[in-house]
Amino acid sequence: YGKNTIKFLRLHKEGKKHCVKEVEVCTHLRLTSAQEYLEGNNSLVIPTDTIKNIVLVLAKKNGIPTLEQFAIDICNHFMTTFCQVVYVKTYVQEVPWQRLHENGVPHIHSFICVPDGIRFCEAEQCRNGPLIVFAGIKDLKLMKTTQSGFEGFYKNEHTTLPERHDRILCGELFCKWSYGECKDFDFDCVWNKIRECILEAFSGPPDCGQYSPSYQKTVNDIQMLVLSKVPQVQVIEVVLNNTFYNVLDMKNLGLTNDKEVLIPVEAPYGSCACTLGRK
Amino acid sequence: YGKNTIKFLRLHKEGKKHCVKEVEVCTHLRLTSAQEYLEGNNSLVIPTDTIKNIVLVLAKKNGIPTLEQFAIDICNHFMTTFCQVVYVKTYVQEVPWQRLHENGVPHIHSFICVPDGIRFCEAEQCRNGPLIVFAGIKDLKLMKTTQSGFEGFYKNEHTTLPERHDRILCGELFCKWSYGECKDFDFDCVWNKIRECILEAFSGPPDCGQYSPSYQKTVNDIQMLVLSKVPQVQVIEVVLNNTFYNVLDMKNLGLTNDKEVLIPVEAPYGSCACTLGRK
Amino acid sequence: YGKNTIKFLRLHKEGKKHCVKEVEVCTHLRLTSAQEYLEGNNSLVIPTDTIKNIVLVLAKKNGIPTLEQFAIDICNHFMTTFCQVVYVKTYVQEVPWQRLHENGVPHIHSFICVPDGIRFCEAEQCRNGPLIVFAGIKDLKLMKTTQSGFEGFYKNEHTTLPERHDRILCGELFCKWSYGECKDFDFDCVWNKIRECILEAFSGPPDCGQYSPSYQKTVNDIQMLVLSKVPQVQVIEVVLNNTFYNVLDMKNLGLTNDKEVLIPVEAPYGSCACTLGRK
Amino acid sequence: YGKNTIKFLRLHKEGKKHCVKEVEVCTHLRLTSAQEYLEGNNSLVIPTDTIKNIVLVLAKKNGIPTLEQFAIDICNHFMTTFCQVVYVKTYVQEVPWQRLHENGVPHIHSFICVPDGIRFCEAEQCRNGPLIVFAGIKDLKLMKTTQSGFEGFYKNEHTTLPERHDRILCGELFCKWSYGECKDFDFDCVWNKIRECILEAFSGPPDCGQYSPSYQKTVNDIQMLVLSKVPQVQVIEVVLNNTFYNVLDMKNLGLTNDKEVLIPVEAPYGSCACTLGRK
């Protein structure tokens, strides 16, 4: 297969207001042929440069109403235009530009980059198969300073970790879900609802939180809440890249440390992941 | 000289509410002696490990009321404790954790990382000299989609740039200012006020913006507004690392492109900087 | 599943000569249970910290004779020690320390980091299945300044790329191959032989090179040469991340440019990949 | 001031042999005027795009005989062409392409990227001042597995570091030296000689090494050797960014660890630097 990444900005106006979408689009193609590999016969190869042009032409003609719609448009274009394509996958990721506000007033043409979780989507299709739409969020860094522990785990002669019932839970979340073949709903609205579910399941109620007995359980809580609240989601994958914080032992400095000063531990660096679907 | 970087988390509670500061602290020391370099005599050398311990002990004992106060405390400690130190500089940078909100309600112990500009500060002192405090913001990415041009520049046989009166202005801002010896005011409040000045000077009024004839003029506008609105600032340095966007020529694809599709230009990559003080 | 990364240095002496291996080891485990996800019951969970300890204990006891043998040892340990493990995969990557030489004389204990392609390996096993060994090289950057072209490709109304018969071929190679269940040979020697095959297939004969009609064909040439010269390799995957260089048009600067000054093109960024096995 | 970075490839042939230099060039200019900042009057501003064109035209016309000569040419061009320029500094950095060899035979047109220390240089000039040439090496990672210690350092109540007489010495070197106004010698040859001095002073004799009592002393040894062996060097700055390795305590795992397994310590991260000139 071949793939290709292109980054660009799409501007449009709504009345006097400027709207901006900066995206990175990566398109994978797989062809029917193998002759370009075996014989150096390029007659069916679609150059990177042509793929780039097609993505830009579609952006110019259709705009980017939502990331998902744009990815669908690209997949459709390749499947219907090139009979040598047997598989196409399009990944679209957004640069998180947000409109600036001055004293609550939205600015007509100024933006600030706020990378608190990056939105992305994917559309994928095999020839004669359905077009499947995925969406997701990545690089979302969250922390709970209490209501997290890790106890009752498996122990043997290589175990040195103490049991803890009040640790820091901190990590970088990657969530990706499938909408299946659904494609007639408001992708922006659903995405925002899912993001809220993720934050809610991670944190628990604002006044007291909810105890997490492990990274694994928190991953599962996120999946369960999204599946229960958002019927459009068919399958959801969550990866949590953990950052551990150790309470620093300050005894040799003559001080007690009641979970006041903690040091992030670079290694071992852990990660837990799970994919969950509907029955 | 020697320097040393340490990253840690400082937690404290205000009633039931948890508060978190994660900081990276870098301390530079210069000693009176040269014997450690010339002769390998280490008797005056303060090990990296000791510097780390001192920073952590101060964080444990005093907390981190503000980044600036913490940097001042560290400088003071080294100057008063070690007579072999002739110069100390402490840089403190914050991991931008923000309290999570659920439907407008602040969460008691959950946080999200929102890196829309990183706050930092510096305290610096030579033996027998004053302690000077700096503060700043970095990695602040801003964009204006109109009200920016570049015309009337110097031209010769190597000039190929066309004049433009409606381009994108986009860049990453670094701003650093000096409070001089002032240290008895609310550092958090002043910092937030300066951040607002920067955004306002970059953007102009929310309903119409303000025309920028060059990156240089925008840099100067930021400096002038901060100096006029915030009397605590003595000197302000601004660096703007530009990202250029080219309107894609789509003629060979049979399309006109009225500043709708633009491509970021990786190179040449430009930057303009200026330092401005009060008379 | 869960995964875990740990980085460490393993020293040993051969007579007076010091030998060093710095490795990054990442271990994935999948358990029989789901109760840790669903119920927060951790009784079968093997903590990250325990995984780290096991890797370090094995390094201490067995050393790291080869990356591959070390990965095999780790897999075996997890499979035989923990009956709740249904799948284990261990990835080992090397920091490319090379012994320093002074006027051709190898230094007894000094090393320089030379990252001209990073060696890695993987061992993988499902319970009741065979242990499969993979090895590879990544981040290997190569360039040919001639003997490369791209012609006769598919064209339509979105094609703007001209045909070229003398371009730069430059890219970053990732190669990963499977040794199947073989494990009784000299992994270091075979790895070095494969690296030479890759360089030879990319470059062609030193006095004249060999024409490459496409990235795809070069990828295939590498695979074919490795499969023909190294019988231990069962399957080989090659990914070539291309960097394109454009001959700069200097006509508007009054100069001709006969492939003397070229600019790397950041986007579109392309990649081609292929996996090839024996019949 | 303004600055500008451009990356490109310069090819030339020596007979049938292809030669390649890929460089990143960064040019800083300071102008006599302030009107572009204060008034938005751009009449003296030299656009980034023009600076880029000049660098490329000089590369096309003169080639890049050495990095240093190219930097000198650029400085001279700006100083003699633009009377509004009061200061120019040009930094040139090389992508470390090395000719491929097959069984000892150099390849006519194939190259591999070997980043074991990056070569750079700088030429700097104020109007009416001399043109000063600097050169250097950066990102040079070296390690000694013995013959390094740290003892007899300053101690107080915050000291927890034990004395060590057999530790790992590992770090990333940055060296930058000035040739003053000299410019009529073989820059490539001198640079290679200095690189050898750095490696020799870091390592000591190949059969036994030389004891380093501190990072500081090693920095000084490097400077002294370069100044004594290379008369063209006027001043030399060395920065050593240390990586610490801790011998892992394996007692709680029932094992002794005689400096066999070590863990890199991410923080505190230390650095020591010194600038030394001739009397």
Residues C114 and C211 in one domain: no
User: Average pLDDT of chain A?
Assistant: 95
- CB-nearest to D53 from B53, B158, B269 is B158
Phi and psi dihedrals of A113, rounded to 5? -90, 120
Neighbours of chain C (3+ CB pairs under 8 A): A, B, D
Check A267 against D267: CB less than 8 A apart.
no
Query: Is B35 among the annotated ligand-binding positions?
Result: no
Q: Are residues B114 and B215 in the same domain?
A: no
pLDDT at D67 over 80: yes
Q: Which whole number is the average pLDDT over D37-49?
A: 94
Q: Which residues 6+ apart lie within 8 Å of B174 measured at CB?
A: B136, B137, B138, B139, B140, B237, B238, B239, B240, B241
pLDDT band at C91 (very low <50, low <70, confident <90, very high): very high
DSSP bridge partners of B137: B119, B175
Q: What is the DSSP letter of B266?
A: -
Does A237 fall in a domain?
Answer: yes
pLDDT value at C215 more than 90: yes
Does residue A134 lie in a domain region? no
Residue C278, pLDDT > 90, answer no
The pLDDT, as a whole number, for residue D278 is 87
- Closest residue in B to C264 (Cα) is B267
d(CA C272, CA C275): 11
* pLDDT tops 70 at residue C275: yes
Banded model confidence at residue C156, pLDDT cuts 50, 70, 90: very high
Q: How far is A187 from chain B (nearest CA, A)?
A: 21
Is D144 part of a structural domain of the chain? no
Of B50, B154, B216, the CB nearest to D158: B50
Q: With contacts defined as CB-CB under 8 Å, which chain D residues touch C167?
A: none
- D159 is annotated as contributing to ligand binding: no
- Please report whether residue D249 resides in a domain: yes
Whether residue D79 is predicted with pLDDT greater than 80 in this model: the reply is: yes
pLDDT at A151: 97
B78 assigned binding-site residue: no
> Is residue B159 helix, strand or coil?
coil
> What pLDDT does residue B260 have?
97
pLDDT band for position B278 (cuts 50, 70, 90): confident
**Other Cβ atoms closer than 10 A to A119:** 22
pLDDT at D181 over 90: no
- Predicted pLDDT at A1: 67
For every residue of chain C, DSSP letters joined together read -EEEEEEEEEEEEETTEEEEEEEEEEEEEEES--HHHHT---TT---HHHHHHHHHHHHHHH--SSHHHHHHHHHHHHHHH-TTEEEEEEEEEE--EEEEEETTEEEEEEEEE--SSEEEEEEEEETTS-EEEEEEEEEEEEEESSSB-B-S----TT--PPPBSS--EEEEEEEEEEEET--SS-HHHHHHHHHHHHHHHHH--TTT---BS-HHHHHHHHHHHHHHH-TT--EEEEEEEEEEEEEP--GGGT---SS-EEEEE-SSEEEEEEEEE--
* Closest Cβ opposite residue B266 in set C157, C253, C266: C266
Nearest to A50 among C43, C158, C220 (CB): C158
Is D8's CB within 8 Å of C264's CB?
yes
- Find the CB nearest D268 among B4, B151, B213: B4
* Residues A118 and A179 reside in one and the same domain: no
Q: What is the mean pLDDT of residues D163-185?
A: 93
Question: Are β-strands C17-31 and B2-14 bridged in parallel, bridged antiparallel, or unpaired?
Answer: unpaired
Within-domain flag for A142: no
Contact (CB<8Å) A261/B108: no
Min Cα separation D63/chain B (Å) = 18
Give the closest of A158, A263, A267 to D253, CB-based. Answer: A158
Strand A269-277 with A235-242, pairing: antiparallel
Can you give the pLDDT at residue A271?
84
Helices (H) and strands (E) in chain B, counts: 5, 12
Give the model's confidence band at C273: pLDDT under 50 very low, under 70 low, under 90 confident, else very high: confident
Nearest CA to C233 out of C176, C174, C178, C181 is that of C178
Residues B35 and B88 in one domain: yes
Tokens describing residue B110: 């959950």
Residue with structure tokens 């001709």? C256
CB-CB under 8 Å, B142 with A107: no
Q: Are residues A77 and A119 in the same domain?
A: yes
Is the pLDDT reported for residue C279 higher than 90? Answer: no
Q: Domain of C83: which CATH number?
A: 3.10.270.10
pLDDT at B181: 85
pLDDT of residue D158 exceeding 80, the answer is: yes
The first and second tokens of residue D15, run together, are 């007979």
Residue B27 assigned as binding residue: no
Contact B179, B234 (CB under 8 A): yes
Distance of CA D215 to the CA centre of its chain: 18
Neighbouring chains to A with at least 3 Cβ pairs closer than 8 Å: B, C, D
Averaged confidence pLDDT in chain C: 95
Does the residue D83 lie in any domain? yes
The string of pLDDT tens digits covering residues D96-106 is: 999 999 999 99
In the prediction, which pLDDT does D1 show? 66
Q: Domain check: are B20 and B102 in the same one?
A: yes
If contacts are CB pairs under 8 Å, which of residues 131-190 in chain D contact chain C?
140-147, 168
pLDDT one-digit tens code per residue, B103-140: 999 999 999 999 999 999 999 999 999 999 999 999 99
Look at residue A268 in the predicted model and tell me its pLDDT: 67
- Tell me whether residues D57 and C253 touch, CB distance under 8 A: yes
Closest to D34 in 3D by CA, of B156, B223, B137, B205: B223
- Amino acid, res. B83: C
Between residues 190 and 229 of chain B, which touch chain A (CB distance below 8 Å)?
196, 199-200, 202-209
- Domain's final residue, options C71, C97, C129: C129
Express as a percent the part of chain D with pLDDT over 90. 90
Residue A2 banded pLDDT, cuts 50, 70, 90: confident
The verdict on residue B137 lying in a domain is no
Q: Is D78 exposed, middle or buried (0-12, 13-18, 19+ CB in 10 A)?
A: buried
B233 touches D: beta carbon within 8 Å: no
Q: Is B139 left (phi over 0), alpha (psi -120 to 50) or beta?
A: left
D85-94 vs C97-102, strand pairing mode: unpaired
Chain A residue whose CA is closest to D264: A267
- Who contacts C264 (Cβ-Cβ below 8 Å, separation ≥6)? C243, C244, C245, D7, D8, D9, D22
Q: What is the dihedral of CA D222, D223, D228, D231, to 10 degrees?
A: 120
Helix H or strand E encompassing B73:
helix B67-81
CA–CA min distance D238, chain B (Å): 11
Neighbours of B165 (CB within 10 A): 11
Provide the 3-class DSSP secondary structure of residue A34. coil
Number of domains in chain D: 2
Q: Which residues of D touch A157 (CB under 8 A)?
A: 253-254
Q: What angle do CA B196, B199, B205 make, to 5 degrees?
A: 100
**Quick check: D263 contacting A, CB < 8 Å?**
yes
Q: How far is D141 from B94, CA to CA, in rounded Å?
A: 29
- Looking at every residue in chain B, the average pLDDT score rounds to 95
In-domain check, residue B139:
no
Whether D252 sits inside 8 A of A157 (CB atoms) is: no
Shortest CA gap C81–chain A (Å): 10
- The predicted model gives A193-219 an average pLDDT of 97
Neighbours of chain B (3+ CB pairs under 8 A): A, C, D
Identify whether residues B35 and B120 lie together within a single domain. Answer: yes
Same domain, C6 and C122: yes
pLDDT of residue B29: 94
Which of B73, B95, B129 is where one domain is finished? B129
D157-194 burial, b at 16+ Cβ within 10 Å, e below that, comes to ebbeeeeeeebbbbbbbbbbbbbbeeeeeebeebbeeb
Q: Which of C138, C232, C120, C136 is nearest to C186 (CA)?
A: C232
- Mean pLDDT of the C154-175 span: 96
Do B99 and B182 fall within a single domain? no
What is the reported pLDDT for A7? 94
Residues A157 and A94 in one domain: no
Do B171 and B241 form a contact (C-beta atoms < 8 A)? yes
Same domain, A98 and A158: no
On whether both B157 and B125 belong to a single domain, the answer is no
Q: What is the mean pLDDT of residues A5-23?
A: 96
Q: Which domain holds residue B94?
A: 2-129
- Kindly report, residue by residue over B51-107, the tens digit of the pLDDT: 999 999 999 999 999 999 999 999 999 999 999 999 999 999 999 999 999 999 999
Give tens-digit pLDDT for D196-230.
999 999 999 999 999 999 999 999 999 999 999 99
Query: pLDDT tens digit string along B219-238?
Result: 999 999 999 999 999 999 99
| Chains B, C: CB pairs < 8 Å | 15
Which residue did the predictor score with more confidence, B3 or C219? C219
Q: Which residues of C touch D208 (CB under 8 A)?
A: 108
